[in-house]
C-alpha cells in the first residue's frame, strides 16, 4: 500500500474521531430565564437534563426516545432555582421541549426541537 493511501486513510480516521456523527448532535430547548433542557448524546445511553433558572414554578422536560417513539416522557425538576436534574439512561432522545408549569393556566413551553 502506498504512503499516500495510508496517510489519507489515517487522516479520515482521525477526522471521524474528532467530529462525531450527526446523530450525536445535542438537542437544546429553553424558556428564556425560566428553564433549559438538553440531551447528553450518549447514543444508547442518552439522558436529558433540565435546569431551573427561576424561583417561582416547577419546571419539566418532555421528551421522546427512539425505542418508544409514541411515548411522551416527563422529567420534573422540583429542586429549585439553579438546580439541574437528569433522567436515567436510555435509547436516543430524538425530540424534547421544556416547560414552566402553571396550575391554573397553560404551561409556558419552548416548543418541540429535534
Q: What is the CATH number of the domain that holds 84?
A: 2.60.40
H or E element at residue 101: none
Q: Please give the model's pTM, rounded to 2 decimal places.
A: 0.76
pLDDT for 79 equals 95
Count how many domains the chain has.
1
**d(C-alpha 38, C-alpha 45), whole Å:** 14
At 78, is the secondary structure helix, strand, or coil? coil
Q: Tell whether 1 is covered by a domain.
A: no
Q: Tell whether 63 is covered by a domain.
A: yes
Mean pLDDT of 81-110: 96
**d(C-alpha 56, C-alpha 26), whole Å:** 28
> Using alpha carbons only, what angle is made at residue 22 by residues 86 and 7, rounded to the nearest 5 degrees?
125
Cβ(112)–Cβ(96) under 8 Å? yes
pLDDT of 112 higher than 50:
yes
Mean pLDDT of 6-25: 44
In tens, the pLDDT along 35-75 reads: 999 999 877 899 999 999 998 899 999 999 999 999 999 99
Average of per-residue pLDDT values in the chain? 84
Cβ(98)–Cβ(36) under 8 Å? yes
pLDDT of 98 higher than 80:
yes
Q: Which residues pair with 28 in a beta bridge?
A: 38
Q: Tell whether 57 is covered by a domain.
A: yes
| Containing structural domain, residue 89 | 23-109
In tens, the pLDDT along 25-41 reads: 699 999 999 999 999 98
As given in the structure block, the three cell numbers for residue 55 are: 424561583
Q: Which residues pair with 48 in a beta bridge?
A: 39
Of the chain, the percentage scoring pLDDT greater than 90 comes to: 71
Amino acid at each position: 500500500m502506498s504512503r499516500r493511501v495510508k496517510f489519507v486513510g489515517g487522516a479520515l480516521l482521525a477526522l471521524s474521531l474528532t467530529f462525531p456523527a450527526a446523530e450525536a448532535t445535542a438537542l437544546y430547548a429553553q424558556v428564556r430565564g425560566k428553564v433549559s433542557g438538553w440531551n447528553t448524546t450518549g447514543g444508547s445511553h442518552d439522558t436529558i437534563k433540565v435546569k431551573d433558572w427561576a424561583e417561582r414554578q416547577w419546571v419539566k422536560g418532555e421528551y421522546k426516545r427512539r425505542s418508544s417513539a409514541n411515548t411522551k416522557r416527563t422529567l420534573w425538576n422540583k429542586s429549585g432555582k439553579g438546580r439541574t436534574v437528569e433522567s436515567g439512561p436510555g435509547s436516543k432522545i430524538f425530540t424534547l421541549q421544556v416547560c414552566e408549569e402553571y396550575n391554573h393556566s397553560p404551561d409556558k413551553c419552548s416548543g418541540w426541537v429535534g
